[in-house]
Amino acid sequence: MLPCVLASLWFSKGGFVDSEGWRVFRLQTFEPAAEIRTEPLFNMSLLSGFYILLGLYSCHSATVLCCSVFVGKDEAHGGMIRTKRANSGWFEELKMGNLERECLEEKCSYEEAREVFEHTEATDEFWKNYDVKDHCASNPCENNGLCSTQNAESYTCLCSPGFSGRSCEQAMKDVPDSCLHDNGHCEHFCTEEDARRNCSCADGYYLGSDGQKCLTQEAFPCGKVPLLQGGGAAMKDDVRSRVVGGVECPKGHCPWQVLLKYGQKGFCGGVIYKPTWILTAAHCLEKLHVRFLKIVAGEHDIEVDEGTEQVIQVEQMLMHPGYVFKTSDNDIALLRLREPIVYSTYAVPICLPLRDMAERELWAVSKHTVSGWGKRSENGPTSRLLRRLQVPRIRTQECIESSNVTLTSNMFCAGYIEGKMDSCQGDSGGPLVTRYRDTTFLLGIVSWGKGCARPGSYGIYTRVSNYLQWIHQQTANSTAATH
């Protein structure tokens, strides 16, 4: 009956054309779903007539051809059925393209991604960030340097003491004063121009007379905890103490953290960037209307009015134009406030790094801090008190292999392989920050993960250093269109 089927298929002109120019038909039988591939399109007009005639003749005289022409089922299927993945269900190919099944739960091919997006342009954009190569596989760092894949095009080496250079190839005695050695002795940012090292500072700071130290005259400069200025104790939390896990962030010790509320319900976190601008995750804003959205700065205990809270209406939501809900790529957004936050001991902006500084210096810091009011266990209630947790960043390739997740170059992993401590539902949009030389910088935004604190899985964060230009452009243009 196969020729009869082919004849009817040619009459119907059904199926779809795959990336090699074959027309593919899916047949539902009592066997697992089968796919029939015809000749490439340039032979279609010639072969269509042949198949129609063959089909009609075979339908008319099947009893004559059954023994002399048809081969056994196994042999016939061997030439006509596309091999499916070993762990796929019988009827997976009958389902519509599903990105989570095809490309997030397991590695997918370009053709499978094309079936999901249906358009070449959208597929190419996804594939550019999806197929992230492990640039550390060739061990490019010399002299026992540690390699870290930064994005689809580059890697960074954390050099052993006494060595410097992109691949740790130079001994310090051979290296002039440069940004590769101790950040050029700059307190904040180091750049090189015309073979000279230049120091600069974050917003609100100015360079001291020594050309290295960053000073400020502002009462509440970015990245500083007012309660710790003047002899206060720095964070000494035990990272293994029982966000999931972690400890309470003492009131005023995470002053850049804000709570997002929709109506009267808190649901996500955010971080203060400027008096009228908040950074958060794009996925937090899905299907929300701006008129019901507020932020709370100076919050600590969500069940008690402590007199330090500032509740401010959101005027505008700006989700990154490249945000993809299915993959969580470009999971970052800005909120413009109707009124400015009044900076205080309990409401202070975070500092943004330069990209080079983030990838060269901040990545090398052993622990980073994530905070929020999220669930204290995967199936438990949210926390009434703001909590924080110190986590190490994990190499991209190690995260992919351990967690079996798909990452783009706009994401990074942090957490513990044994689980127990992680960001969780409700922490989304909150900050992952890094303290560097007594100033705290924003490195990531809580994005997604497999459950919460599951063994073998890590938290996934948006790589803020990839969006610095976008952030500066949007916050300089307060008339951008509302989403």
Q: Catalogue the active-site residues.
A: 283, 331, 428
Question: Own/partner pairs for 32-36, CB < 8 Å, 24+ apart?
Answer: 32/84, 32/90, 32/91, 33/90, 33/91, 33/92, 33/93, 33/94, 34/77, 34/80, 34/81, 35/80, 35/81, 35/82, 35/93, 36/5, 36/6, 36/9, 36/80
The Cα diameter of the chain in Å comes to 99
Q: How far apart are CA 335 and CA 270, in angstroms?
A: 9
Name the β-bridge partners of 199.
190
CA atoms within 13 A on the CB side of 106: 10
Q: How far apart are CA 294 and CA 313, in angstroms?
A: 4
Nearest to 447 by CA among 387, 419, 406, 395: 406
Distance of CA 232 to the CA centre of its chain: 35
N-terminal to C-terminal alpha carbon distance within the chain: 56
